[in-house]
Structure 1
Amino acid sequence: MESARSSHKAATRSKIAWGSGAVADALMNNTVGVLFLAIYSLGYGLSASLLGLIMFVPRIWDMFTDPMMGNISDNTRTRWGRRRPYLPIGGALAGLFFFLMWAPSTDWGESTKLVFFLVMLLLFYTAYTIFAIPWNGLGLELSDDYADRSSVQGYRIFIAMMATFLYPYAYKFCFDFTPAIGDSIAKIEEILVRGAEGSVWDSVDFFGNWVYHKILILFQPLVESFFSLYFSVFPERASLEKVELNGVVCVGAFFGVLMFVFATIPALFTKERKDRLVRQERTGFVDAMKVVTRDKNLLSVGAAIFGIFLGFISTQALQLYINIYYVFGELPIAEAKALSGAMGGKVGIVYALVGLGSVPLIGYATRRFGKRSVMVGGLGLVACGCVLSFFLFSPGAPQMQLLLPVFFAAGLNCVWINSNSLVADICDLDELKNGKRREGIFGATLAWISKLGLAVALLLSGLIVDLTGVNPELDQLQSADTVFRMRLAYALIPTVCLFVSIYLASRCSLTEAMARETRAKLDSSAV
């Protein structure tokens, strides 16, 4: 009994340690998307369409590097395991390139800035692959139990929600983590002196300002020291008129350090399995890819996720524009940008809180109804939120949009938890048929589909922004038709794509009964 308890505690510690890598994964996967249009388009004035095209290019590169890295980690043999050695290397390189990405020379023209951004993206996403693919494979092999696999992914999603307290605020940080951080602190102190008014939202804002005030005070010495050193190396950047273009460099350093730290934790504290799986015969890359690309269940899950990115993620950039030019459209442009950045942070906090609370409920629903059914239900929730968004963005009540992440967080968590859990079940079927464990390349293929979907989404995001007719040079003088097109695109495009995803997810034929039967056969053959 004591031995069983000890074993359970060790397994739980491994799950938590592995799940902590989800913070690094979330930061690497999301923060560039939060910042690239805000900094390079609104800040430096580059074309949103060209920036979207540049965001697409690394996904072509990932087409080769993701499966290759998966196969490399499947075939790696070291005293530290086949996955863990890659995690701190990828985290360190990703953090470095993320920091460098936001500091193009002020003397460069538009073309040179675009090329610089592309090169940094390629380096950054290669480093991300070095971390993410072995890390994901490590999680897929932590458990052999059908239900416990969803529990493992639940740890991942629960801890990843912690990152949603951070990266949605990335643009807001760019206005405050600047050489004038003391001015930002003073402005918040004025708000705190006035106190909260009677409404619930005012009380929430007051509490948020109080917390943010303490964060700024905590980081003030580091920020001021950073810029003292930074301007001694790059004195020409001290004269930039737009404060966010300097602030983003400090933000890049801050997030870069976090990426490295949280990528290293699972490498140090997750216990990697050292059984027969690591002694299997090595598999050639081409042969492994043939197996993966013919797996209908994996392709069904991957296609459903691709639909989410194609419709939902491609329109998320519009949220910033809708807030700037519609919700806060009556305010001066600088104030509207700052408030929109702050609203993005509030949305992130609600998303995180709902996401954290939804994980145990999704676990119960998965045990009750099965992984595929919960995925389909989650997609339906996200679609409902998209339809309601047309009415929840309101100049008279900006806080109404905080209802949107209630639908989005719970719905998407249903997908992320169960899609990765299904991949582990698919790997069981592969072992039963072919006698090999290939979590690395199966997980890498799903990751590549997700990243391809994200790239297409970011490519479309720039095009969608341009097609709505937004002109940043007009500031708050956007036409009524432009504002209407933004709101309609945000609601309609993802709704259509999500219904396609619902159909594709329902095509997955792997049921709980099939997965348990497969696992039983594997366990009996191993005895």
Structure 2
Amino acid sequence: MSDSPSPLKDIVPIGQKAAYGTGTLVLNLLPASLNIFAFFLVTAYGIDPFLAGLLTGLPRLFDALTDPIMGFLTDNTKSRWGRRRPYIVIGAILSGVLFALLWQMNPDASEQYNFVYFLLFSLAFTIGNTMFATPFVGLGYEISSDYKERTHLMAVSQFMGQIAWMIVPWFWVIIANPNLFETQADGVQDMAIVVGGICIILGVIPGLLCKGISDEKIENRKEISFSTMLINLKSIINGIVTTFKNAAFARLCGATFLVFNGFQLVSSFAYFIIVFYMFEGDFGSAGNWPAWFATMSAVMTAFFVIPIVSWMADKFGKRNAFIISTCLSIVGYSLKWIGFSPDNVWLMFMPIPLMSFGIGGLFTLMLSMTADVCDLDELNNGMPRREGTFAAIYWLMVKIGNAIALILGGLVLNLVGFDASLSTQTLETMTQLRLADVIIPAVTAAMAIWVMWAYDLDENKAREIKAKLVKRRGEI
């Protein structure tokens, strides 16, 4: 790879990187909190587990409609504030307000009332969150046009995003603490207001401070009006098809699907293994160890993994950095077999440094590489640039895969014979669960390496594409 520094004009000031990072913190905080709070639908509000599953799953299906539409809208919007920033500010405010309202259910109300209340506000929250998330991710793709600086931006962004994963595991402890809240419902309601407020304050920052491509330089945008709805719907569908025809982007989506959702599929297994294998079903003895495991994973990702991944990307290229990181994560997953030991609880932290390269390297590199792909798309298909559409499709694949992972995670628990009603599990069940915890993410990570092996959009090619674009339409 080239050791030449990025041109000074392409360097993103650290303040703007940090401003973008606040948005990534919100991007992580909202879904992470949603996953934690969803547990209390059953315990605090008395909703049937099956209905609770529907309440968390149906909005994800709604996402499949809203994400591509929002991507198209933000790519083709004309305003004095740019294509992305107005949506980011409005979306952040709506996301925070609707998230807080979402959890203000009455625990004494009927199950039917709470089901309808939560479903309607979930759909409204999905719209608000899509209005924030899709333009925000699209903005990140266009903040810098430099191959290396894009990785540096995403490294700072993902570093700040990890703060959410350091905090959220402790929501379990806070909400269920009788010394803080009289009931779990009270805890959920109050914490939802706190999370919503934080998301509003931090979410508007990138919309106010971050700069993207000059709005005057974007050509061939579609007219957005009620009279052009049917024509635009066809354009959205054609845009999705064109996006998936981009072989480099398809590889990024496939690798992300495999790494992230292999990790997500077994993410809850650590909790069960710690409680039922290491502490033999004694929740009191297990205490805060599961929360510490999750928090230390985020700390290690932020302070150790992301800086190394960013350095590797500069030194060896983004594709090679991804392959190295993913190989290290496979070693980390394998070490969990030794680390989760009832004889020494501290060994559970041993796999974390290597295991964290999986997720820590994934989004730092994939988001940077998607920005490169957006240049390739403009070269092949012309204006308007479609960062919003690429952001929508990429995160839609993540969301769909996450939903599948949640379903398959429950299936694996059933297949190994795990019975949550029992205080102790059989040795055979725990052995099979521990094997699944190691094998599943290791196999999906290996498959992701295979998918990315032929990825060829390296630094030299990216710089050639940029030079051709600048020659065609000038700097933007």
Output the CA distance in 1 between the equivalents of 2:426 and 2:47. 21
Aligned to 1:319: 270
State the AA in 2 paired with 1:172. V
Secondary structure of 1:272's match?
coil
> How far apart are 1:156 and its partner, in Å?
0.9
Aligned to 1:273: 213
* Pair 46,461 (structure 1): closer, same or farther in 2 beyond 3 Å: farther
* Pair 523,423 (structure 1): closer, same or farther in 2 beyond 3 Å: same
Aligned 8 A contact 2:79 2:215 in 1:
no
Aligned to 1:254: 194
Output the CA distance in 2 between the equivalents of 1:9 and 1:374. 21
Aligned to 2:170: 169
2:406 corresponds to which of 458, 464, 468: 458
Aligned to 1:308: 259
State the AA in 1 paired with 2:156. Y
Q: TM-score, normalised by structure 1?
A: 0.79
Q: 1:63-98: CA deviations, max 9, x gaps?
A: 221111111011111222211111232223322333
* Pair 466,387 (structure 1): closer, same or farther in 2 beyond 3 Å: same
Aligned 8 A contact 1:55 1:455 in 2:
no
Secondary structure of 2:31's match?
helix
Aligned 8 A contact 1:58 1:125 in 2:
yes
Task: Map 1:5-154 onto structure 2 (within 5 A).
Answer: 11-37=13-39, 39-40=40-41, 51-52=52-53, 54-102=55-103, 104-107=105-108, 117-154=118-155
State the AA in 1 paired with 2:203. A
Output the CA distance in 2 between the equivalents of 1:526 and 1:156. 29
Aligned to 1:503: 450
Task: Map 1:212-291 onto structure 2 (within 5 A).
Answer: 243-274=183-214, 276-282=216-222, 284-291=235-242
Task: Map 1:185-196 onto structure 2 (within 5 A).
Answer: none
Aligned to 2:316: 369
1:423 corresponds to which of 365, 370, 374: 370
Aligned 8 A contact 2:89 2:208 in 1:
no
Aligned 8 A contact 2:253 2:397 in 1:
yes
Output the CA distance in 1 between the equivalents of 2:306 and 2:320. 16
Structure 1: gaps spanning 5 or more residues? 182-226, 228-237
Aligned 8 A contact 1:22 1:160 in 2:
yes
> How far apart are 1:49 and its partner, in Å?
6.6
* Pair 491,322 (structure 1): closer, same or farther in 2 beyond 3 Å: same
Q: 1:470-491: CA deviations, max 9, x gaps?
A: 33333x2333333333322222
Secondary structure of 2:254's match?
helix
Aligned to 1:207: none
Aligned to 1:205: none
Output the CA distance in 2 between the equivalents of 1:5 and 1:524. 17
Secondary structure of 1:82's match?
coil
* Pair 516,299 (structure 1): closer, same or farther in 2 beyond 3 Å: same
Output the CA distance in 2 between the equivalents of 1:146 and 1:167. 33
2:361 corresponds to which of 411, 414, 428: 414
Aligned to 2:351: 404
Output the CA distance in 2 between the equivalents of 1:167 and 1:126. 23
State the AA in 2 paired with 1:97. L
1:432 corresponds to which of 363, 370, 379: 379
Output the CA distance in 2 between the equivalents of 1:509 and 1:48. 46
Output the CA distance in 1 between the equivalents of 2:102 and 2:331. 36
Q: TM-score, normalised by structure 2?
A: 0.87
Q: Which has the higher contact order (CA 8 A, sep 6+)?
A: 1
2:440 corresponds to which of 460, 477, 493: 493
